[in-house]
Every structure is written in C-alpha cells, then in structure tokens.
C-alpha cells in the first residue's frame, strides 16, 4: 500500500504505507488512513516529528528490513532522518502558508 500526503503549496509526497503510518504516529496522530491535519495543528505535529528525528536520527524506521543484508553483511536500512525529510519539507510549506495537509491511499 502507498500513502500520499497532499497540500496545495507543495508537491505530493508518496511513501510506502508502513513508513507513512510510522511517521504519522510520530507526528502525534493516530496513524489512521485517510487522515488530515488542519493548518492550526500543523506546527505542533511538525515539532513532534522533528523532535523524534532529533532524538534518534540514525534509527531505522522499518525494523523488519534490518534483516536484509548486502554482500558484505551490513544492514541495509534507511534512517528515520532520511525517511522523514520529505514529509518535514511538506509540513513546513503547509505551516508557512497556513494550509491543511491530507493523506490517503
């Protein structure tokens, strides 16, 4: 499943469902899809997401993928910092222009 985040002032962001739901929960939302944030709620959600990233930026967001290994035996995972960056950019744009954010499959 793919989840797409939308706001009128930024390009749409599409993520794998498990990653998107984890980021939604880190914003302090229930993780339900479809969902939305009103413009007034975006600064708080953005602050929570940024705090989670700053607390542990190199943490893998998708623990079950930690089992995947490359030829040299190193774990292949994308850090929380890198996974969250596109969504942070979208939320910052929405907050700046006071626009709502929605997400859906």
Top-confidence residue, 59 or 71: 59
Q: What is the mean pLDDT of residues 79-93?
A: 93
The per-residue pLDDT for 60 is 73
**Rounded to two decimals, what is the model's pTM?**
0.82
CA dist 83 and 15 (Å) reads 9
Q: What is the pLDDT of residues 8-57, one digit of tens each?
A: 999 999 999 999 999 999 999 988 899 999 999 999 999 999 999 998 87
The domain segmentation of the chain, as residue ranges, is: 2-60+77-104
Within the chain, strands assigned E span 2-7, 10-16, 35-37, 101-104
Length of the chain: 105
């Amino acid at each position: 499943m793919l989840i797409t985040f939308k706001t009128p002032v930024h390009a749409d962001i599409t993520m794998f469902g498990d990653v998107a739901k984890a980021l939604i929960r880190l914003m302090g939302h229930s993780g339900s899809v479809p969902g939305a944030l009103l413009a007034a709620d975006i600064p708080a959600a953005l602050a929570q997401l940024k705090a989670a990233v700053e607390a542990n930026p190199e943490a893998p967001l998708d623990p079950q993928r930690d089992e995947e290994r490359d030829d040299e035996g190193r774990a292949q995972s994308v850090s929380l910092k890198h996974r969250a960056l596109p969504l942070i950019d979208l939320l910052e744009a929405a907050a700046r222009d006071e626009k709502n954010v929605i997400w859906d499959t």
